[in-house]
Each structure stands twice: as C-alpha cells, then as structure tokens.
Amino acid sequence: KKITISEEDIQRLNFYFDTEYFLTHIVEIIEENKPDLLIIDCFSDLFSGELYETNKVRGFLNEFQLLAVRYGLCILFLHHVGKRTEDLSPSKNNALGSQGFEAKMRLVVELKTDKAQPNKKFFCIVKGNYLSHEMKKYAHNLIFSDNLIFSDTGQLTAFENINKAGSDLSEKERDYNDIMQMRSEGMTYQEIADRMGMSKTGVFGRVKRYEEFQEKVRQQTKEINEKQQELIFNNQSMLTEK
C-alpha cells in the first residue's frame, strides 16, 4: 500500500530550520497554519542537555506535551537508537539516552533494516498505550524504493525473527527465490540439486519449509489485521457513544 497526498496538501507543508527560540517561532507557525502534525527531526538537535538526564529530558518534553494539548496536534519526534542495539530485538529500551524519553511517549516505533536486504525495513511498534499486545509482537515489512517511498508488503515478521534470526530467514528466502528462478528457466529439481550441491530431497525440503512459513505468516497477518479492525471499530463505537 502507498499513501499519497494531493498537490494542494503538499502546498500546506511547512519547513522550519532555525532551532534558536524554536518554541516561540513554532507557536506562531501553528497558530497561523493550524497543522494536524508536527514532525521534529531530530530530538537531539533541539535538546541541548544530556540525553541520560531523565528529569531534564522529561522537563523539555513537557513543553511539547502542553503544545500538543493546547493546539490539538500530534507531535512526532525522530530519534536515534544506540549502536549497541543493532543486533538486539526491537524494544522501546533501544532508544538513545535515558528512559525518560520513551516514558513520555504514547507511541514508540523502531525502524530496523534487514541486514541481507538493505532496502527492506521492519516497522516495529515497540510501545503503544492504546494498542493491543499482539500489535507489538510483529513488524510490518516495508520496502524503501529508489524514489524514497515506503511501501507496505502486507507481510509481518515476528520480532524474534529480526536480526540474527532474520538474517537466517533472509538466506532461506534467497534460496527459495533461486530455486524458483531455476525452475522458471526449465531446470529439473535434480539439476537444481546438483547446482546447489545437495540432494533433490533437500531442495524439496527448502521449498516446502519456506512455503509453510509464508502460509503461517499470511495467517498471522490476517489474524492481526482482523484484531486491528475490531479495535478500530470498538474505539469508533466508544467515541460515538460519548
């Protein structure tokens, strides 16, 4: 899926680059344009204190919380993760700095890169105060195009299968794709087995295991999407009743 916006909406986008007296100037822009979303790229460019001082981080973020409440807008902070977290599973604790940053957020998303396929990204919801636990166990698989556009593949990957396990999974995917490519070129399974240096049974096994895994992913995706729709419906019903 791709989300596109009209040319009229594009004209309503505003960019501000001066970090000096940021809050004062941004309030003027908000009052004039009445935006729904404020994106700050990135948090450490605005915050001049130590990232590991929890009280100062929370105090700084309080100003933006008041801004969000006052003007009814969503504020999105882009932030970094620690380098040591590259091989770790997605977690809200991977955010750089003190726990005060993630504690102040209502939603935290970690974007991880597939080591075997750099243009493939894992969109991981690691914290969501109003989301089900199920939605925080699986990453949405995205493809990042040469045109700098993210596309949702519709597939999910369990957090525990990202990174080390994910690299192994990507290798299985490459093997499957290679086998299917050779089959499309008219090669027999025995010829494929000879080229890959394994038995014909081994080739069949790789195809079967990967296809079974994909079917499991499809079922999990379907179940989570159904739960998401149910959650959205329940939330809409609650708003209607209010």
Query: Which residue's entry shows tokens 């049974």?
Result: 201
- Residue 12's SS3 state is coil
pLDDT: which is higher, 232 or 238: 232
Task: Tell me the C-alpha distance between 87 and 11, whole Å.
Answer: 40
- Tokens representing 196 are 């890959």
Q: Which of 31-35, 55-59, 96-100, 220-224 has the lowest mean pLDDT?
A: 220-224
Q: Please report which helix (H) or strand (E) contains residue 239, including its range.
A: helix 200-241
Position 86 scores a pLDDT of 78
Question: pLDDT > 70: what percent of the chain?
Answer: 88
pLDDT range class, residue 27, cuts 50, 70, 90: very high
Is pTM beyond 0.75? Reply is no
126-172 confidence digits (pLDDT tens): 999 888 888 888 899 999 888 888 888 888 888 888 865 445 556 67
pLDDT category, 111, cuts 50, 70, 90?
very high
CA distances from 182 to 67, 117, 141, 175, 185 (A): 58, 21, 26, 11, 5
